Structure 1
């Protein structure tokens, strides 16, 4: 087998393998869907046969395939088909976009959108239903906040949902009210279900189209795999259909939605993976709290800018522990969304109780998704318990303009503590949480190593002692993400026998000036030795 010709050879590039034996090479051979050899062109050239495709990288840089360690593929696909509000600079801007949409939408049909963020507006205040009602009085309107943890709706949508003149208590959620006690049109976390449940459900063909479009978008930005955080039964069925039709350009590592009634039957069926490793089902997603931007993150002490609340738990602790024990019983990973310091402490306590009864507790690799705001005393507990903090660098750079206002300076110091956690011995799989943030992994790489926004602010980075090194940032979206998914035997580094998942860029991310990282362009994305995105212009010739 070692003497058989390669199917494809990459040469004349800078190839970062992350393999300790040969960390940087200039050529790489692929046989089938696996790496066959790495080295110099002189070492690899003998593997070229009559049918071998030789790809000249012409000085470009290759890496182990980039992975998004926490994202929402179906959410991205849906966001691509509704109003994009991420660029809206004010409540009036959003209302204008809704008005334009209403002009071309039949009366009575829902107008949906996503991406508004009041923290980016001059007044920094939550909007109300009044502006949306004036913009689209004949349409129900539901606009999801950028973090996915709040909905802004108009009067028509509120009436359909049965929201009257007084708010009702909602476990795990909040209906915001004005001075007179009337609902304002903002529903946080579980309260959003009152509106979501009234929006017509997506048809199977809609879900399938959205998943496919979103995966194609991921491939175009250099992603070879996504850890999809919260896959329900409808999406799972369409993933399987796409897999059967060979229409999955990237790999999906699926976390089952913890709220689904069918969860235990799915767990009892066992961990699932197709032969090519395109669709892996071996984890469960739960929620301990909401998001910081909508003040749903559950804190140990009240919010600095709203002292009447400390956020809220989305699920009872008993529910989190019950599902974590199911995961332990059936060999699945528990992956829990926790942003506030109280939510993080609570889920670490839950994991500690569950894992303490297992002889291999540290090897279960339970995860905390986001691990955004931590009490100093809880930071060492991740390594002690073998718990993996899955974190998103662009959350830091998106939140830093207002995080101190929410948390105060003392708590903010222990927010987004990447380097402090790494020094305890943990690995950090990184991701974007798209569509909360853009899916482009280069944005995450830049945020991780600079802690600055796209304009280079603040100079030197926000709490710069927590910046990652470039090697750490690269490992976060390759090797560490593979470890977080129990896939280190198959991926994460480019070495003999590993999957040939490769991302190629026109610039060397490990060497270009920080200011040029965001100018870098993805040239090729390869999954299992197959090119799933080709961004070369003009195309480089493939010599045979």
Structure 2
């Protein structure tokens, strides 16, 4: 079964449209058409005197762009666009700066980003001692008995490596010493493991006699006592205790905290030029709150939510009530479900075809049964939802694609024309692919939702997990996927990594690690491919290539202004690029 997809060349179909009464076709101002209209016809805002990278094949580059009523009105030369301005038009002189389509975060956790801003930030820590010190500082400011939470640690970034570790991670004792009365729960950068102190384990009822849950492990010392290192599903028991603590909050306190999460996440996104965000995991309760904010015009950026954390029964009963496309003036869309087939490479949780090189006793493990995932896929198909499956290991990716293939074959068999519908189901991460799986993405029309920054962040230790040859042939194989005509949607997986499209773009084109070495650079994207993966590729991944992802007249005026052209400056200069301005729907929502 092959489903042909052409997300970028399909823009040619859009160029036939005509915008307004000024005679502009999609692409650029026609000669002689650049004239000022009356107040009703004039643009609200024009940006002139720079470079406009449109990501539109009809007019790849221009000097200026005009916006009206939240949409792109025209692109063209500075003289042509200036001529459109009326008495009420705001004119921004770019002075050589560069306008691009707003970045689309293809895989992140929006509320998690806001929550990370409200907890102990461990992303920059480079030693175990730093983490213990940060927890001690938080305890000094906390109320007695209050939970201390944080996120962002990674044992592979610690130097020197701590002593007396189990599976590379220290026991809880140092955390318990600085926080004897406050429960502490520190989430790994990947989100697939946590560290708990003695108070947190006591609150959660985790003892030497507690059995490991399905899909998770309580790491234990030589005497069988839990060390505080909770892998995968084992985090659930500690999180349940945290939830019980938070249930003591009043409804007003819960709502205030939620709105603060949205506010902080929006600020961070806009500061980095992100105008749309594919959120990979919202509950029905989260959607209810976000829908209320969308109705009130209070969402800072456009959100595309995938339902996660709900049972198959609940989804089958309720998905029909929650499906929405372009709600709240195109600020909220819900038409995807998110499931997780395996864990992360960093915690040896990704499901591999062969054992880990540095831990031959395991090949990782599935987080849920294949039958359960298959049921979710059936439910998603029935309700018209995309299926987004977290799969990192080569076994996890194979199993996920096999489920998709079965569902698509059944859909084709029941279709009147015998062709599977355009589902655009997604594999989230796709970090480790057996070569046999690479062509399946394009053949099946499956989106490869990958995060460029993961390759360079994980690169220093991936060969330890997979071995040199397996890493070279299977790890973060963007070039292989693109050469096989797959669609890649880029992102950062924030808060696993900082929400920086520039950093992830730089990683995508260089695969350069912090050491300066390059992680199998033959798998790099070229610059335009990387930009497309952050714009039109992600728009296509949520059925919005006719609405977002390029600076094309008629599309929503979501733009980012950079201080330099990341398509042409040196690689080092790309890394230092600054976001000068971010516009959502033609409104300036961030200015440096």
**Shorter-chain-normalised TM-score: which range?**
over 0.9
* Alpha-carbon distance, 1:104 to partner: 2.1
2:10 matched to which residue of 1? Answer: none
Q: 1:162-177, aligned counterparts within 5 Å?
A: 162-177=205-220
1:2 matched to which residue of 2? Answer: 21
CA change 1:146–1:275 in 2 (3 A) is closer
* Alpha-carbon distance, 1:167 to partner: 4.3
> How far apart, CA to CA, are the structure 1 residues paired with 2:432 and 2:574?
27
CA contact (8 A) 2:324 2:332 kept: no
2:289 matched to which residue of 1? Answer: 238
Q: Normalising by the residue count of structure 1, what TM-score does the alignment of the two structures yield?
A: 0.95
1:187 matched to which residue of 2? Answer: 230
Q: 1:260-271, aligned counterparts within 5 Å?
A: 260=311, 262-269=314-321, 270-271=323-324
1:159 matched to which residue of 2? Answer: 202
* Alpha-carbon distance, 1:243 to partner: 1.4
> How far apart, CA to CA, are the structure 2 residues paired with 1:148 and 1:175?
16
CA contact (8 A) 2:459 2:513 kept: no
1:220 matched to which residue of 2? Answer: 271
Is 1:257 the counterpart of 2:308 in the alignment? Answer: yes
> How far apart, CA to CA, are the structure 2 residues paired with 1:295 and 1:352?
27
Q: 1:16-35, aligned counterparts within 5 Å?
A: 16-35=53-72
Is 1:123 the counterpart of 2:175 in the alignment? Answer: no
* Alpha-carbon distance, 1:262 to partner: 3.4
2:538 matched to which residue of 1? Answer: 481
2:137 matched to which residue of 1? Answer: 100
> How far apart, CA to CA, are the structure 2 residues paired with 1:401 and 1:232?
35
Match of 1:367 among 415, 426, 430: 426
When the two chains are superposed, the root-mean-square deviation of aligned CA atoms in Å is 1.4
Number of residues paired by the alignment? 532
2:505 matched to which residue of 1? Answer: 445
Q: Which 5+ residue runs of structure 1 have no aligned equivalent?
A: 536-544
CA contact (8 A) 2:511 2:521 kept: yes
> How far apart, CA to CA, are the structure 2 residues paired with 1:104 and 1:23?
53
1:433 matched to which residue of 2? Answer: 493
- SS of 2:307's equivalent in the other structure is strand
* Alpha-carbon distance, 1:66 to partner: 0.6
Q: Which 5+ residue runs of structure 2 have no aligned equivalent?
A: 1-19, 23-40, 163-167, 248-253, 413-418
* Alpha-carbon distance, 1:248 to partner: 1.3
Mean CA deviation greater in 40-49 or 315-324: 40-49
CA contact (8 A) 1:167 1:177 kept: no
* Alpha-carbon distance, 1:249 to partner: 1.8
Match of 1:132 among 171, 175, 188: 175
* Alpha-carbon distance, 1:43 to partner: 2.5
2:399 matched to which residue of 1? Answer: 346
Match of 1:146 among 183, 186, 189: 189
- SS of 2:92's equivalent in the other structure is strand
* Alpha-carbon distance, 1:227 to partner: 0.3
- SS of 1:197's equivalent in the other structure is helix
- SS of 1:320's equivalent in the other structure is helix
* Alpha-carbon distance, 1:454 to partner: 4.3
Is 1:13 the counterpart of 2:56 in the alignment? Answer: no
CA contact (8 A) 1:161 1:198 kept: yes
Q: List structure 1 runs of 4+ shifted beyond 4 angstroms.
A: none
* Alpha-carbon distance, 1:365 to partner: 0.4
- SS of 1:439's equivalent in the other structure is coil
- SS of 1:364's equivalent in the other structure is coil
- SS of 2:195's equivalent in the other structure is strand
1:396 matched to which residue of 2? Answer: 455
> How far apart, CA to CA, are the structure 2 residues paired with 1:304 and 1:166?
31
CA contact (8 A) 2:107 2:428 kept: yes
* Alpha-carbon distance, 1:46 to partner: 3.1
CA contact (8 A) 1:391 1:430 kept: yes
Post-superposition CA distance 1:306-337 (Å, at most 9, x none): 11111111111111111111111111100000
CA contact (8 A) 1:338 1:369 kept: yes
CA contact (8 A) 2:513 2:519 kept: no
1:321 matched to which residue of 2? Answer: 374
> How far apart, CA to CA, are the structure 1 residues paired with 2:444 and 2:535?
23
Mean CA deviation greater in 228-237 or 471-480: 228-237
CA contact (8 A) 1:208 1:239 kept: no
1:53 matched to which residue of 2? Answer: 90
Q: Normalising by the residue count of structure 2, what TM-score does the alignment of the two structures yield?
A: 0.88
* Alpha-carbon distance, 1:105 to partner: 1.8
- SS of 1:36's equivalent in the other structure is strand
CA contact (8 A) 2:304 2:333 kept: yes
CA change 1:168–1:79 in 2 (3 A) is same
- SS of 2:170's equivalent in the other structure is coil
2:480 matched to which residue of 1? Answer: 420
1:82 matched to which residue of 2? Answer: 119
1:205 matched to which residue of 2? Answer: 256
- SS of 1:263's equivalent in the other structure is helix
- SS of 2:363's equivalent in the other structure is coil
